[in-house]
């Protein structure tokens, strides 16, 4: 989970942890690759906020993480913005969207969809 607001990262950790997930959280995404190596397991999914303060946006961070770890890791981009150029860039990178405010049931359904696709591709 990547979000520049630590309260969001903490809340997502609690929510996803309650669903049985092990969560790596980061305010910038810059430390995620190292944290994944320390954990010894590739992520099943990346959830990133689009706006990450003054640094790179969520699309760029997802690209970097995929480049360093695995280009097929599914990504859910959380955003309150739906500008045409954002849609175009995200589609080019095979990102799913979730609009703010995040509704837990919708998030859970999208995670299940992305993880099931991943599981079925491996078999």
Mind listing the pLDDT tens digit for each residue in 5-58?
Answer: 999 999 999 999 999 999 999 999 999 999 999 999 999 999 999 999 888 999
**pLDDT at residue 97 is higher than 80:** yes
For residue 117, the model assigns a pLDDT of: 59
**pLDDT at residue 63 is higher than 90:** yes
Mean pLDDT of 97-117: 89
Q: pTM for the full model?
A: 0.89
Mean pLDDT of 81-108: 85
Cα(44)–Cα(74) distance, rounded to whole angstroms? 7
Contact 50, 81 (CB under 8 A): yes
Cα(20)–Cα(88) distance, rounded to whole angstroms? 33
Q: Helix (H, G, I), strand (E, B), or coil: what is residue 110? A: helix
- At what angle are helices 58-68 and 32-39 packed, to 10 degrees? 40
Cα(17)–Cα(21) distance, rounded to whole angstroms? 5
Mean pLDDT of 63-70: 96
Cα(60)–Cα(53) distance, rounded to whole angstroms? 13
Cα(56)–Cα(106) distance, rounded to whole angstroms? 26
DSSP for 33-69?
A: HHHHHHHTS--S-EEEES--TTS--HHHHHHHHHHHS
14-18, 101-105, 118-122: which has the minimum mean pLDDT? 118-122
Chain Cα centroid distance, residue 31: 14
7-11, 37-41, 99-103, 118-122: which has the minimum mean pLDDT? 118-122
């Amino acid at each position: 989970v990547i979000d520049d607001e630590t309260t969001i990262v903490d809340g997502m950790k609690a929510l996803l942890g309650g669903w049985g997930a092990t969560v790596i959280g980061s305010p910038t995404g810059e430390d995620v690759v190292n944290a994944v190596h320390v954990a010894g397991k590739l992520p099943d999914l990346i959830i990133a906020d689009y706006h990450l303060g003054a640094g790179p946006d969520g699309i760029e961070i997802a690209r970097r993480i995929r480049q360093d770890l695995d280009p097929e890791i599914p990504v859910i981009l959380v955003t309150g913005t739906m500008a045409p150029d954002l849609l175009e860039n995200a589609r080019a990178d095979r990102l799913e969207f979730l609009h703010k405010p995040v509704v837990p049931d919708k998030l859970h359904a999208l995670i299940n969809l992305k993880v099931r696709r991943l599981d079925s591709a491996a078999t």
